Amino acid sequence: MYYLNLLRLTFDTAIEPWQAPDFRAAVMDYLGWGYDGLPLPGEDGAQTTLAKEDSAGLPAHPYPYPLAQFKVRRNRGSYQPMLLFLGPRSSEVREYFQSARNSAVVVNNRAYPLDIAEASLHRFRLKAGEEWFEYNLFKYQALNNENHRRYQELENEEQRLSFLEKLLASHILTFARGVGWQVGAPVQVKGLHILQEQELRCRGIRNHCFDLNFRCNLFLPEFIGLGRGVARGFGVLRLDRRGRN
């Protein structure tokens, strides 16, 4: 049995989705956090950055999963930046932002306040192998350059779906390792269905993304990121409460 603290902070400011990476960079700089928020500065204030990717397309850093992830949340026709923070220091991060009233960061010559509109701290019991859960995954970056080539060379849809299932299982395991969860059971992904496949631009770079529906034998918290680029809002997980049509 493993418990994970998860903090969701929604900032009381409106932002355009395309400005989210710049907002994230400004907040990270304001906090003095390392690249991708992993990990928080140590006792000596030293910063830590992610290493280059290994041959499998995953970061070579022993703890590659970013604990600080920025999302964009739609609220009554506008968009608000949201910080998702995972791990034992979640309560500390919440207290820090709640005490940082009247602070702001500057993005593209405009000041954005760091006041918090909503703060919720959750404690999840992560479990594996007991039952199957159905999820939707949005803006999932599954493929590095090598895997993109291999994916395009596959002969049919069945092979592509199987290929994506294996990649997704590896990204779920990356999440588990990143938050210190020793799963204790094989990670299984089944019944994967592609809802949408598209190219999304972020800072002028085209990102091959999938919207997926799938089943997994692990219980996973909503809003966590899976895949590549999760610190910048890609790969957002949601429970599928309705099931497939």
Reported as a single tens digit per residue, the pLDDT across 38-50 is 544 444 444 333 3
End-to-end CA distance of the chain, in Å?
33
As a whole number of angstroms, the distance between CA 102 and CA 160 comes to: 50
Instruction: Describe the crossing of helices 145-153 and 157-178 by its angle, rounded to 10 degrees.
Output: 150
Q: Could you tell me which residues are beta bridge partners of residue 79?
A: 74
- pLDDT grade for 73, boundaries at 50, 70 and 90: confident
The predicted pLDDT at position 56 comes to 37
The predicted pLDDT at position 34 comes to 67
The predicted pLDDT at position 157 comes to 94
Of 92-101, 131-140, 166-175, 207-216, the one with minimum mean pLDDT is 92-101
> What is the average per-residue pLDDT within 96-101?
82
Residues ≥6 apart with Cβ < 8 Å to 189: 165, 166, 168, 169, 172, 214, 215, 216
> Above 90 in pLDDT, residue 64?
no
Output the six-digit token pair for 229. Answer: 């680029």
Q: Output DSSP code: residue 4.
A: E
Residues ≥6 apart with Cβ < 8 Å to 15: 23, 72, 79, 80, 81, 107, 112
The predicted pLDDT at position 35 comes to 56
Give the Å distances, CA to CA, from 76 to 73, 79, 80, 81.
10, 8, 10, 14
Residues ≥6 apart with Cβ < 8 Å to 166: 189
Domains and CATH numbers, the chain: 2-123 (3.30.70), 128-239 (3.30.70)
Q: Tell which wins on pLDDT, 43 or 22.
A: 22
Of 91-105, 187-201, 207-221, the one with minimum mean pLDDT is 91-105
Q: What are phi and psi of 222, to 5 degrees?
A: -70, 150
Q: Output DSSP code: residue 60.
A: -
Q: Tell which wins on pLDDT, 40 or 65.
A: 65
